[in-house]
Amino acid sequence: MKVLVTGGLGFIGSHTVVELQNEGYEVVIIDDCSNSSEKVLDGITAITGKRPLFEKIDLKEKSKVEDFFKRHTDVQGVIHFAASKAVGESVEKPLLYYENNIGTLVYLLKELSRKSKSSFIFSSSCTVYGQADTMPITENAPVKAAESPYGNTKQMGEEIIRDTCKVTEGLNAIALRYFNPMGAHPSSEIGELPIGVPQNLVPFITQTGVGLREQLSVFGDDYPTSDGTCVRDYIYVVDLAKAHVVALQRLLGGKNKTNYEVFNVGTGKGSTVLEVIKSFEKVSGKKLNYKIVDRRPGDITSAYADTTLANEELGWKAQFTLDEAMKSAWDWEQKIRS
């Protein structure tokens, strides 16, 4: 069975390709390599023993999307990761984000709408909840007005998919709202490789630990949390990748209850920034150079998932601890800098 993974050379996409190939799926990757590298194919091949098909396509080029689906009529499932994802950049370049994250989604759904049957998994985000009123966050929590164009593209993306599923017989979709992915494959063949300054906490920690960054800034220690720093739900990327596979299997097996479903994907446990730093110090045996600075505009106090729905409906549960995920991130960082 052939599955298309857009953005399949990216951080979460590449780990999902590995899990799909481990389950026996034939995978074809579309990636424009704007935030990734074709070298990732070598890592996927080293882990699975099989090289996925790869086409370097910019999904903003509608004619190329149409051409792809004409040539690959046997694609039965699509997992859609390809998107721009830097919150700060989205504020500076909103039109780039709306074109790249919304336009490409529309082109994909148009092609899937022409098929008699298709399954679509959307890479969504807990950003749709904003600062939720209660913790942990369930799927019934209200979607709040987005703080950034990036967050807005995730909200709009979900709405576009839901509206399309309402009027398209044979199209079934699941949006996975994930929390804070981290870590690397245990083989250290693939992992998170941010271009430029990392946007996420964990690669900034590991880059500081390895000496690439001089110091980590912790934004605020006066939040109403156990130690004053922000709380997030950090999920190991391999656990997250497996959630995409079981979600796809749910659709392909006709187990979905409606033609559009939403699931939170997290650990169900919140960790403060200082707890994440302590985890790094524990697994690496190194003291991290960090300083407390002023709060950063737009940061919410706390966000962690209620994963009951995914646990019960998908039969999926996060297996790895924060320390285990952090160890994989540190192993990967050391490997790529050696």
Q: Are 8 and 30 in contact (CB under 8 A)?
A: yes
Return the DSSP state at 311: I
Question: Given pLDDT bands bounded at 50, 70 and 90, which one contains residue 298?
Answer: confident
Question: Given pLDDT bands bounded at 50, 70 and 90, which one contains residue 338?
Answer: confident
75-80 vs 171-178, strand pairing mode:
unpaired
Report the distance separating Cα 11 and Cα 9, nearest Å.
7
Mean pLDDT (the chain, rounded): 97
Report the distance separating Cα 200 and Cα 86, nearest Å.
9
Q: What are phi and psi of 195, to 5 degrees?
A: -85, 125
Q: Residue ranges per domain, the chain?
A: 2-181+235-265, 201-232+268-337
pLDDT at 54: 98
Instruction: Read off the pLDDT of residues 228-266 as tens digits, 9 standing for 90 and up.
Output: 999 999 999 999 999 999 999 999 999 999 999 999 999
Q: Is the dihedral of CA 267, 268, 273, 275 positive or negative?
A: negative
Q: Are 228 and 219 in contact (CB under 8 A)?
A: no
Count CA atoms closer than 13 A to 55's CA, side-chain side. 16
Closest-CA residue to 190 (of 2, 21, 314): 21
Report the distance separating Cα 198 and Cα 194, nearest Å.
6
Closest-CA residue to 88 (of 297, 269, 254): 297
Residue 299 pLDDT more than 90? no
* Mean pLDDT, residues 291-298 taken together: 92
* Mean pLDDT, residues 202-207 taken together: 98
Token pair, residue 334, equals 């050391």
Q: In the CATH scheme, what is the homologous superfamily, with its name and number, of domain 201-232+268-337?
A: UDP-galactose 4-epimerase, domain 1 (3.90.25.10)
pLDDT at 196: 87
Orientation angle between helical segments 40-48 and 11-22, nearest 10 degrees? 30
Positions marked catalytic: 150
Residue 126 pLDDT more than 90? yes
Burial class of residue 211 (count of CB atoms within 10 Å of its CB; 0-12, 13-18, 19+): exposed
Q: Is the domain defined by 2-181+235-265 classed in CATH 3.30.420.10? A: no
Instruction: Read off the pLDDT of residues 150-169 as tens digits, 9 standing for 90 and up.
Output: 999 999 999 999 999 999 99
Residue 174 pLDDT more than 90? yes
pLDDT at 241: 98
Closest-CA residue to 237 (of 315, 337, 155, 319): 319
For the CA atoms of 16, 104, 314, 267, the dihedral, rounded to the nearest 10 degrees, stands at 70
Report the distance separating Cα 290 and Cα 208, nearest Å.
9
From first CA to last CA, the distance across the chain in angstroms is 38
Same fold, 2-181+235-265 and 201-232+268-337: no
